Amino acid sequence: MLHQITPDTHGVLLDLHYADDRNFTGRPVYGRAACYLRPEAEALLRRAVDLAAQLDLRLKVFDAFRPAEAQWVLWNHTPDPEFLADPRRGSPHSMGVAVDVTLVDAGGTDLDMGTPFDAFTPRSHHGSTEVSAAAQRHRHLLLGIMSAAGWDFYRAEWWHYQMFEARRHFPVLSDSVLPEPMMPG
């Protein structure tokens, strides 16, 4: 049902912030670092990887499938509907059809996007002019690659991409669908 995404199989870099303490909760949310997507989203990711490669760039993935249990952990910590989907409504991440990504150059260095991943501020919005011109160009480049690959974007987060009409087409999934749990004990 869900396909595992790895650097070897998909040519991406993984930097899964919710598997360690480098996230807005300050502690690991996942007990195991792993990256999964539904087959339909996995195909779009492959297309985006190919498009980025044509420009000598790579994608770095911060998050993909997020078990419903993890969405509740995030929401209970920071119930901010501008930056987090209310778990009662369902997150496209918890449906396995969303990715949080950035671009890196051929040497593996992150392109400047003006804010870090998960910066809950208006400066993180697509189209923000409160970041440098270089960061704006990089965001537009990421948006172009992801859009051309078939992804929809979320206006408040330069890093977030999801399949169109996700809530209409896909159910929310729990940790139990995985061959090995991501959530701690």
Residue-wise DSSP of 157-184: -TTEEE-TTHHHH-----GGGSSS--S-
Residue ranges making up the domain that contains 85: 3-177
Our separate counts of H helices and E strands in the chain read 5, 7
Q: Is residue 30 part of a domain?
A: yes
Q: Is residue 161 part of a domain?
A: yes
Q: Is residue 80 part of a domain?
A: yes
CA atoms of 124 and 114, how far apart (whole Å):
8
Q: Is residue 137 part of a domain?
A: yes
Q: Is residue 93 part of a domain?
A: yes
CA atoms of 135 and 145, how far apart (whole Å):
15
- Give me the CATH number covering residue 79: 3.30.1380.10
Strand partners, 98: 162
With cut-offs at 50, 70 and 90, classify the pLDDT of residue 165.
Answer: very high
Phi, psi dihedral angles at 88 (to 5 degrees): -70, -25
Q: What is the helix, strand, coil percentage profile of the chain, to 5?
A: 35, 15, 55
| Residue at 173: amino acid letter | L
Q: What is the pTM of this model?
A: 0.97
Tokens of 106: 């051929």
Please give the sequence-ordered ranges of beta strands (E in DSSP) within the chain, or none if there are none: 3-4, 13-14, 36-37, 58-63, 98-104, 152-153, 160-162
Tally of domains within the chain: 1
CA angle 112, 165, 147 (to 5 degrees): 35
Q: Is residue 184 part of a domain?
A: no
What per-residue confidence (pLDDT) applies to 40? 98
Nearest alpha carbon to residue 37 among 165, 183, 161:
161
Which residues belong to the active site?
157
Q: Is residue 183 part of a domain?
A: no
Q: Is residue 185 part of a domain?
A: no
pLDDT for 16-74, tens place per residue?
999 999 999 999 999 999 999 999 999 999 999 999 999 999 999 999 999 999 999 99
DSSP assigned state of 30: -
Tokens of 163: 């399949």
pLDDT for 80-118, tens place per residue?
999 999 999 999 999 999 999 999 999 999 999 999 999
